[in-house]
Structure 1
Amino acid sequence: MPKSAQPRELPARLLTDPEMIDACRVRDFSRVFRLVKKQAGIYPSMIARLCDLTPSRVGEVIAGERRLQHMDVVERIADGLRIPGHMLGLARRTWETPSSLTVTEREPAAESPALLPEQHKPVDLPGSDVDSILALTSATDPSPSTLKALRASIEDYWRRDDQHGGETLRPAVVGQLRYVVGLLGESRSRTLKNDLCGVAAELARLTGWTHFDARQYNQARAYFTQALQLAKEVDDRPFMANVLACMSLQATYQDKPTDALAFVQAAQDAARADNGGTARVHSMLAMREAFAHASLGSRAATHAAISEAHRQFEQIRSDDADPTWVSYFDEPKLIVDTGIAHGQLGEAAAAEPLIADAMRRELGTNQRGRAFHAFWLARTQLQLGKLDQACHTATAALEHASAVASERLAGHLREFYGQLTPYRGESATAAFEARLREVLPA
């Protein structure tokens, strides 16, 4: 960003102005831009540079001829104008952390640029306008191999998300999503458009998932909604069920159990609309329903949903045409989710052996899943008064947790750590805390 377009803090009087607060709340950027111009002296041309928008687009917004709703644009405006995330319904922005709490590199003195080592000079990348020009020279239609490569990259993204978390993947995933959505905007055959819609829906769900795992719930919901819209374009009911199941799980984390139940019931309706759906899909959705009922504290409904999940799982046949996105839901996953549902109800005695059994069966490289399950097991052991076992289990979970960037996972760690407060003087707790400081230093 050129020096003339560096972000600057908006005046406190503007950020506390009731009109500005209301305009941000409803994302009325026509009012926001006018207020920024009037009270901060930031004119439309500068707004355009700060927010990576065209001057004509900013002018149309101010004139009320265009509304800005896409999440990536809202985020650019928040970051470009330094509007705190909560005012626009976003997660806390990285720049909101006070500078006194961050370590930053000093800028080299202006009079001695030659002292900057060659390897520290920023790489000069082409701008987005160059990318747009070069895109004109690409093939008219993506080839079957291009679509195959896109799907293969999505599978790889999911594997890497399981292993390390999605924070570093997100820029690449969003870039591919924009690329595919751009292809959809051009005139193409119906078959190719359907294929591209399917790929875009998968990328939007993955993007939503990475935001959800980072506990950035507003962004996650926006991308999940985009995935639903894309899947609806091609009437892919099973995939709509998949996205709704993700939204149901997010709602349980947001402590919105009624929303969670509504989403999963809509998912079940969508799955049934697809020639009845497969048994594995219905089993997974029944477990999500169990989570929602458990969050509501409905014991009988939770047990009924668990029973349905197991009944459906027993109906699975080797020749079922399961969607690829549900292949993760195997027997160990069914068992561990059953244990977690019991744990949500406070039924630790029923939960502990189930989670422990599933963890013994788990294979693969899903570091985040192993850590999640270990923390759930530790929590149930602690509820049963097994302090030594709980701390031993949680210590093992740290090894997996340290390899994954996941704010959701960090939340489970913080919750377990808080539950140890009454046992701070015990040797098992002290040993766990010592290992915690080694593996996850402050």
Structure 2
Amino acid sequence: MPDADRPQELPARLLTDPEMLDACRVRDFARVFRLLRTRAGIYPSMIARRCDLTPSRVGEVISGRRQLQHMDVIERISDGMRIPGHMLGLARRPWETPQALIAVERQAPRLPDAEQQSPVSLPGPDVDSILALATRTKCSAATLQGFRSSIEDYWRRDDQHGGEALRPAIVGQLRHVVGLLKESRPPSIQISLYGVAAELARLTGWTYFDARQYNQARAYFTEALQLARKIDDRQFLANVLACMSLQATYQDQPKDSLTYVTAAQDQARSAPGITPRVLSMLSMREAFAHATLRNRDDTHRAIGEAHRHFERIRPSDPDPTWVRYFDEPKLIVDTGIAHGQMGEASTAEPLIANALRREDRTNQRGRAFHSFWLARTQLDQGKLDQACRTATQALEPASAVTSERVSGHLREFYGQLTPHRQEPVLLAFEARLRDFLPSISGTLRP
């Protein structure tokens, strides 16, 4: 991006202008773009370049022939024009400093007619270039640790509440880090930044996958692969491919699922310092793929390999942070799910029940997800009363998290109850479902 088109701070007088504040508050981008032109000298072509929009689209907005409502576009405008997030109803943007860009409303001054206003004189490109050098974003070991800590926090909150509400902040941070990669830095810092960007891209893909928005998920997973490839991080490449394998099982593409996880295992085996925990997780994903294909012997073989790898784990292993979630309860519950996918309900039920007793109770999505799986294995064995009780217990954590995957499992379980519609235990379950998840219950039954 040419220096003249790099995002620059807007004049404070524009950010605190009542008309600008009101236009941003109601997201009237026709007014916002006109104010940028008349009071900051930023013309439509510059707006288009900085916000990754076409000039014709910007022109249609200014003329009132098009409105901008998609959240991704609003975020690009905030980031490209350096409009603080709170002015547009967004979360705080990663580039905002603590106080410098907080807009404070003030009484509107008496302004001349629009025809008499002249564009504000701004520094020329040469001065902009000099200032850009002086204000280049610093990136130290502490900055990188801050990025990693925020990623860990995103994952924790994703488990508790789902990723939909987090996604704007994650995408904003991803774009910020990708922007940092364009600057020249020491190799060690640059490599770490690529790793951070790859994990943010994978996390974004995961939030779309959990929402069952598969095309968007695949796009971000692919971006994560490209970023990891830049630094030849084969373990992380394997991790992303494993995510894509899991998504393929949800899309009823079992052959693609097996292809992805096989490629993941190839990457992992060629990676220096591969740990048993990573290999165990990948073997379990292979078991899922085979179970979806109804390959019984291969499913059991992959389950056995997952457990053998897990037994080799030592506390001193240098596990990547992204695989630490794969603990013993996770291994057990995934083993139960793989057996459940194969129709081996009597084997699956005690495994899933055992894991649920040991599972972290703050992981609301996991508790709901695994409880519905347990209920399905009980129903497959004809234990209607027990299945409905288990599903009822799953409603509370399910109501605490926004996850279309969890909602999908609830719908699948409810569909299996069709032959028992008049049973009292099912009527009781439906009553609790209406209490906890009225928005879903209204879509289940005509």
For 2:404 and 2:231, how far apart are their aligned partners in 1? 33
TM-score normalized by the length of structure 2: 0.72
State the shift of 1:53 in Å: 4.0
Give the corresponding residue for 1:23.
none
In structure 2, the CA distance between the partners of 1:79 and 1:287, relative to structure 1 (3 Å rule), is: farther
The Cα offsets for residues 234-281 of structure 1, whole Å up to 9 and x where unpaired, read as: 111111111111111001001111111011111111111113611111
Give the corresponding residue for 1:290.
287
Alignment of 1:435 with 2:427, yes or no, is no
State the shift of 1:364 in Å: 4.3
**253, 267, 273: which one pairs with 2:270?**
273
State the shift of 1:311 in Å: 1.0
The Cα offsets for residues 195-215 of structure 1, whole Å up to 9 and x where unpaired, read as: 110110110010000000000
Give the corresponding residue for 1:258.
255
Give the corresponding residue for 1:168.
165
For 2:88 and 2:301, how far apart are their aligned partners in 1? 60
Give the corresponding residue for 2:333.
336
The Cα offsets for residues 312-335 of structure 1, whole Å up to 9 and x where unpaired, read as: 111112211111111111111111
Alignment of 1:352 with 2:349, yes or no, is yes
Task: Look up the equivalent residue of 2:151 and give its one-letter code.
Answer: I
Alignment of 1:426 with 2:423, yes or no, is yes
C-alpha contact (below 8 Å) 1:268/1:285 kept by paired residues: yes
Task: Look up the equivalent residue of 1:419 and give its one-letter code.
Answer: Q
State the shift of 1:417 in Å: 1.0
For 1:57 and 1:245, how far apart are their aligned partners in 2? 41
For 1:174 and 1:263, how far apart are their aligned partners in 2? 25
For 2:438 and 2:349, how far apart are their aligned partners in 1? 29
For 1:206 and 1:52, how far apart are their aligned partners in 2? 23
1:25-424 equivalences under 5 Å are 53-55=52-54, 80=68, 123=87, 138-275=135-272, 277-424=274-421
C-alpha contact (below 8 Å) 1:280/1:313 kept by paired residues: yes
Give the corresponding residue for 2:28.
2
In structure 2, the CA distance between the partners of 1:136 and 1:172, relative to structure 1 (3 Å rule), is: farther
The Cα offsets for residues 413-441 of structure 1, whole Å up to 9 and x where unpaired, read as: 11111111111111110110000000111
For 1:358 and 1:176, how far apart are their aligned partners in 2? 34
For 1:257 and 1:351, how far apart are their aligned partners in 2? 21
Task: Look up the equivalent residue of 1:369 and give its one-letter code.
Answer: G
For 1:79 and 1:369, how far apart are their aligned partners in 2? 39
In structure 2, the CA distance between the partners of 1:319 and 1:242, relative to structure 1 (3 Å rule), is: same
Give the corresponding residue for 1:114.
none
In structure 2, the CA distance between the partners of 1:356 and 1:220, relative to structure 1 (3 Å rule), is: same
State the shift of 1:80 in Å: 4.9
In structure 2, the CA distance between the partners of 1:79 and 1:280, relative to structure 1 (3 Å rule), is: farther
Task: Look up the equivalent residue of 1:391 and give its one-letter code.
Answer: C
Name the count of aligned residue pairs.
Answer: 347
State the shift of 1:141 in Å: 2.8
In structure 2, the CA distance between the partners of 1:191 and 1:358, relative to structure 1 (3 Å rule), is: same
Segment of structure 1 superposing worse, 270-279 or 154-163: 270-279
State the shift of 1:166 in Å: 0.2
For 2:52 and 2:229, how far apart are their aligned partners in 1? 30
Q: Which runs of 5+ in 1 are unaligned?
A: 7-44, 60-77, 83-121
SS of the residue 1:185 aligns to: coil
State the shift of 1:79 in Å: 8.6
The Cα offsets for residues 17-39 of structure 1, whole Å up to 9 and x where unpaired, read as: xxxxxxxxxxxxxxxxxxxxxxx
SS of the residue 1:286 aligns to: helix
In structure 2, the CA distance between the partners of 1:139 and 1:81, relative to structure 1 (3 Å rule), is: closer
C-alpha contact (below 8 Å) 1:141/1:188 kept by paired residues: no
For 2:311 and 2:426, how far apart are their aligned partners in 1? 41
The Cα offsets for residues 280-322 of structure 1, whole Å up to 9 and x where unpaired, read as: 1111100000000000111111011011111111111221111
SS of the residue 2:438 aligns to: coil
How much identity, in percent, do the aligned residues show? Answer: 66
SS of the residue 1:425 aligns to: coil
For 2:56 and 2:183, how far apart are their aligned partners in 1? 21
Task: Look up the equivalent residue of 2:28 and give its one-letter code.
Answer: P
Which of the pair has more CA radius of gyration? 2
State the shift of 1:57 in Å: 8.8
For 1:135 and 1:202, how far apart are their aligned partners in 2? 28
TM-score normalized by the length of structure 1: 0.73
For 2:331 and 2:256, how far apart are their aligned partners in 1? 23
The Cα offsets for residues 78-115 of structure 1, whole Å up to 9 and x where unpaired, read as: 99599xxxxxxxxxxxxxxxxxxxxxxxxxxxxxxxxx
Q: Which runs of 5+ in 2 are unaligned?
A: 1-26, 33-43, 59-65, 71-85, 102-127, 440-446
Give the corresponding residue for 2:114.
none
For 1:382 and 1:189, how far apart are their aligned partners in 2? 58
Task: Look up the equivalent residue of 2:209 and give its one-letter code.
Answer: F
C-alpha contact (below 8 Å) 1:401/1:409 kept by paired residues: yes
For 1:334 and 1:54, how far apart are their aligned partners in 2? 46
The Cα offsets for residues 143-170 of structure 1, whole Å up to 9 and x where unpaired, read as: 2211111110000000000000000000
For 1:217 and 1:203, how far apart are their aligned partners in 2? 17
In structure 2, the CA distance between the partners of 1:354 and 1:80, relative to structure 1 (3 Å rule), is: same
C-alpha contact (below 8 Å) 1:333/1:358 kept by paired residues: yes
For 1:430 and 1:171, how far apart are their aligned partners in 2? 40
